[in-house]
Amino acid sequence: MFEELKTFIAVVEHKNFTKAGEYLNLSQPSVSTHIKNLESYYGVTLINRSIKHKSIVITENGYKLYNRAKEILHILDTTYMEVRDISDSIKGIIKIGASLTIGEYILPKFLTIFREKYPDIEVDLLIENTTIIAENLKDLTLDIGFIEGISSYPNLNQEYLSEDKMVLAVPYDSRWINNKFNFDLLQNQNWVAREEGSGTREYLNLYLNSNKIIAKNLMILGSNYAVKEAVRNGLGVTIISNFVADPAAKNKELITIELDKFYNRSFSYILPKNMNITKATEVFLEEFKNYLLTITK
């Protein structure tokens, strides 16, 4: 049954028997046999096949089994690691998701420290925006997620880690150096923003709406680094984490203007509800908490 469930998950995620077989290193007849065994066991159709259109459609019962199968395999993986941890040193693979500020500006140095201390723990890291990290965690393709802002998924638990200060970042030029800051300076300016779904974008939208600021143009870029570089090169202004902007501000490559504490946001971690975490994930989380304390004092 274990192998059949793995095969079924692969078919659902690849939407194709052949591709699922290639992923699992199985022949297509073997994949078909696994699916038929499951349908026979449960007495329902899990996948409708269209020979004419060479396509498959997952049934409602199929998606129910898919979600449960993901949970079952996650529990089996967690149990395996827990049992191994009793007799072995801490080891294993942790699948971590991090939104861009954390993933690009905080985790790299921490991972170097963590690897030296726990060489037998392998870390797979996905860096994406907050929405995508939450989606992956909901689907149990990640063990833990580190995000900025709020996750609105009811089946995920979210716990506070530390605070992140958002700042207004503007080009280092005479318009800003020689003028005392006021909101009138921000009207009809070019703004640089992250994509929708980003925690950083939420705060930029909030700032514009709360202060009734009308942007002349809005340039959308896919990373914090790109946003910071756009401001540094005079392409616009933005709201961004001080972790991202501060090194450039110290080098007089751009100017940062502090915002009200209302615009401070939280770094937090998210986990699926009612799921036990492995010892390796638990150790990673505790070490990361301690690291954040040292860099946010």
Say whether domain 2-70 belongs to CATH 1.10.10.10. yes
pLDDT tens-digit series, residues 253-293: 999 999 988 888 889 999 988 777 888 899 999 999 999 98
Of the candidates 207, 266, 271, 214, the residue with the CA atom closest to the CA atom of residue 78: 271
Q: Residues with Cβ < 8 Å from 291, sequence gap 6 or more?
A: 110, 113
**CATH for 166-263?**
3.40.190.10
Does the structural domain 90-163+266-295 have CATH classification 3.40.50.1010?
no
Residue ranges per structural domain of the chain: 2-70, 90-163+266-295, 166-263
Strand-pair category, 121-127 with 92-98: parallel
Angle among Cα 238, 239, 242 to the nearest 5 degrees reads 120
Residue-wise pLDDT for 206-218, tens only, equals 999 999 998 999 9
Does residue 87 surpass a pLDDT of 50?
A: no
Q: What is the pLDDT of residue 81?
A: 64
Q: pLDDT band at 233, cuts 50/70/90?
A: very high
pLDDT score for 297: 62
Do 179 and 287 contact (CB within 8 A), yes or no?
no
Please state the pTM of the whole predicted model: 0.65
Give me the residues paired with residue 48 across strands.
Answer: 57
Instruction: Encode pLDDT of 98-151 as tens digits.
Output: 998 899 999 999 999 999 989 989 999 999 988 899 989 988 889 999 998 777
Place 53 in a pLDDT band, splitting at 50, 70 and 90. Answer: low
Cβ atoms within 10 Å, residue 117: 10
Domains 90-163+266-295 and 166-263 share a fold: yes
Sort residue 67 into left (φ over 0), alpha (ψ -120 to 50) or beta.
alpha
Alpha-carbon gap, residue 291 to 285, rounded angstroms: 10
Structure confidence at residue 172 (pLDDT): 92
Mean pLDDT, all residues of the chain? 87
Give mean pLDDT, residues 4-26: 85
* Residue 292: count of CB within 10 angstroms of its CB: 18
